[in-house]
Structure 1
Amino acid sequence: MPTVPTRAGEVAYEIKGDGVPIVMLHATLHDRRDYEVVATHFAEKYKAISVDWPWHCDSKGTPGRESLGAAGFADVLEDVVVGLKLGPAIFVGNSVGGFAAARLAITHPDQVRGLVLVNSGGFFDWTPWSRLLTRPLGSAVVSRFIMPRLVPRYMSPQTDHDQEITRRVAAIAGTAGGASIAAALWRSFLHPSHDLRSRAKDLKAPVLLAWGTRDPIFPKAAGPMAQKYIPGSQLEYFDTGHVVFSSKPAEFYGAVDPFIESIVADNKNPA
């Protein structure tokens, strides 16, 4: 598996196809295999690039830096984009992957043609209640107990691929290493660096929000919150859990393909 150097160690990636690059970024404790079917579909027309975050799957990460949070993953994405010499790309980001892609579009707009944000972090109106529920998961001990039970809830599996993802992630969440990584990410979600709401006005790339309505982590109500902050964004709902593209791939393509095609066409025929 090829890797690219980043400030958090070597990051593994996989490329299929050729053309306009589409970079796919996964959720916490998940990995690039979430996108297997999606990557094959995109590779029919584009260069589909799926990435493993540090300490996930084939990306080992720098020892001792497992406490890297969401903002740290966004930093890693900056290094990936530079290391792969992609030029302007389209990003599909799920959960923390969506946050990292959105932050890149704000801080480095020349690198981003468009965004597909799937049940994405970064634009959530945190209430005292949601903070109270989230804070305990910042403990590795609590995370190791709760996360293996939470994964089937937020996945709401509908396909064989969903079931495979659920088994894989729940198993990792029950290990000491997985719990430590998950806890670091949960802690970072409450940090000001994870809040993009005040900066979202600087997000100029076209944005499609793909929202699974069965997700208890970022529920249906979180979709309009994100749309409220992101100027001109489109919002599509899906009857799925957290990983929309695995549960309803055909419906996902039905929304995403025209969105990507319009971006590519606009870049070929600038006004």
Structure 2
Amino acid sequence: MTAAAESTVTTGTVQVGGLRMRCRDTGAGDPVLLLHGIGRSLEDWTEQHDRLSAGHRVLSLDLPGFGYSDRLPGPSTLDGLAAALPGFLDAVGAAGPVHVVGNSLGGAVAMRLAADHPGRVRSLLLANSAGFGKEVTIALRILAIRPLGALLLRPNRAGATRTTQAIFRDRSFATAERVELALALAAHPGHNRTLLEVARDLGGLRGVREPWRTALIADLIARRIPTLVVWGDRDLILPAAHLDAARTLLPDAETRLFPDTGHMPQIERADEFAELATAFFAARSTS
């Protein structure tokens, strides 16, 4: 894929440093990069592609090792995932700074990208992002237990249904199609190995580790990148109390709490999320 004056809806792959990475490219205008959470894929951004591409070039991808993208050559870590993104942006022709939106793990990846490559990031929108607290669902904490973690990730419909329901407050969003996608992702070679490696890189049985969080926030503050942090108040994965922590840690950031919303406001509150994002981006537009 390459940049174009007018982009059409495209889902395909690009080569990035020898890795094949699956991505979607829609719309035209100031570019926006969308980053999914742990064990997820670019499908988590379908609703925002539909809405944001009216005024922006919108890019999403399966992070290395997740979805249908190739794994990194070494162990999968937060730093490694973020390090792959400048090459991805080069491969799709997004040479200038982009607005970066990250959900859950994707928020931490977005912050690491901004901290390490501030010239590539125009603004950050962090949705229910990892990095603001220790607390995390027990389902992720027990992945640290060997070999129990690997056993729990074996593909099965009951497990896929439970995990899909857990990310939404309104379970009508846990559609049969989303459950089938979760099953397909879990069965894809390398996906679960990547999930385990990333989960163990960031946390353990006691929760999300503090050292990397503290270092990341300190690095981000030094970059002074405009940031908006949003949360769903009924998040069962990363509690909404982390939004209060974000307000303390990033006092210059804008914040928004979505009522009666789970871990993925970009899906459950798609219209409100897109309107908020559009206004936030517009204040930092190149035009």
The within-5 A match list for 1:13-162 is 13-61=23-71, 65=74, 67-86=75-94, 87-124=96-133, 126=134, 134-138=140-144, 139-144=149-154, 148=160, 149-160=162-173
Comparing 166-175 with 181-190, greater Cα deviation is found at 166-175
TM-score, length of structure 2 as denominator length: 0.79
Comparing 148-157 with 240-249, greater Cα deviation is found at 148-157
Alignment of 1:204 with 2:210, yes or no, is: no
- Residue 237 of structure 2 corresponds to 217
Residues 124-153 of structure 1 deviation map (CA, whole Å, 9 limit, x = unaligned) = 2x27xx698854213322444996434422
Report the CA distance shift for 1:178/1:114 in structure 2 as closer, same or farther (over 3 A).
Answer: same
Alignment of 1:180 with 2:200, yes or no, is: no
Comparing 27-36 with 7-16, greater Cα deviation is found at 7-16
TM-score, length of structure 1 as denominator length: 0.83
Report the CA distance shift for 1:167/1:3 in structure 2 as closer, same or farther (over 3 A).
Answer: closer
SS in structure 1 of the partner of residue 279 of structure 2: helix
Q: Give the conservation status (yes or no) of the 8 Å contact 1:159–1:247.
A: no
Deviation at 1:198, TM superposition (A): 2.7
Deviation at 1:54, TM superposition (A): 1.9
What CA distance in whole angstroms lies between the structure 1 residues aligned with 2:45 and 2:103?
Answer: 10
For 1:236, the aligned partner's letter is R
Alignment of 1:169 with 2:182, yes or no, is: yes
Deviation at 1:40, TM superposition (A): 1.8
- Residue 6 of structure 2 corresponds to none
Deviation at 1:180, TM superposition (A): 2.4
Structure having the higher helix fraction is 1
Q: Give the conservation status (yes or no) of the 8 Å contact 1:71–1:194.
A: no
Q: What percentage of aligned pairs have identical amino acids?
A: 26
For 1:91, the aligned partner's letter is V
Report the CA distance shift for 1:39/1:161 in structure 2 as closer, same or farther (over 3 A).
Answer: farther
CA RMSD after TM alignment: 2.9
- Consecutive unaligned residues of structure 2, counting only runs of 5 or more, are 1-10, 204-208
What CA distance in whole angstroms lies between the structure 2 residues aligned with 1:25 and 1:162?
Answer: 22
Comparing 135-144 with 12-21, greater Cα deviation is found at 135-144
Report the CA distance shift for 1:193/1:81 in structure 2 as closer, same or farther (over 3 A).
Answer: farther
Report the CA distance shift for 1:253/1:199 in structure 2 as closer, same or farther (over 3 A).
Answer: same
Residues 226-254 of structure 1 deviation map (CA, whole Å, 9 limit, x = unaligned) = 23222411111112211111111122123
